[in-house]
Amino acid sequence: MSLESLLRLRRTGSRPPTVTVIVGTPPAWLDTSAPDKVVIDSDPARLNLHALYGMEVNLIDIQPDTDLLLKAMDATAAAGARPLGACTHEGACGVSAEHELSMRRYRENLIGR
């Protein structure tokens, strides 16, 4: 999982500019081993999300369970992450119209639309 690669990178004093948090099971073709992607596909209380501390994150929801999305949002906030935006089937909320469009396109690509 990418949490481990993010933690290893953070221990070296480096970090990616942003992290994409994917809520749900990503498609098989997506490389989730990179430190700039974190997958939350089950109860985030089981995950150690402290590597997200101080990181700017985009949440991309690709599953239908609103409870899991809300738990993921709460867990990333509790870990000290700084949300830049979120994108769900309902729409996107980001720092600009271009950012929102980019998140929507990313999500559509992940779910195959």
Regarding pTM above 0.85, the answer is: yes
Identify whether the C-beta of residue 109 lies closer than 8 Å to the C-beta of residue 82: no
Q: How many domains does the chain divide into? A: 1
Task: Show the domain range for 97.
Answer: 2-111
- Residue 10's closest CA among 59, 62, 51? 51
Sequential pLDDT tens for the chain (113 residues): 589 999 999 999 999 999 999 999 999 999 999 999 999 999 999 999 999 999 999 999 999 999 999 999 999 999 999 999 999 999 999 999 999 999 999 999 999 86
Identify whether the C-beta of residue 38 lies closer than 8 Å to the C-beta of residue 52: yes
Identify the CATH number of the domain in which residue 42 sits.
Answer: 3.40.1010
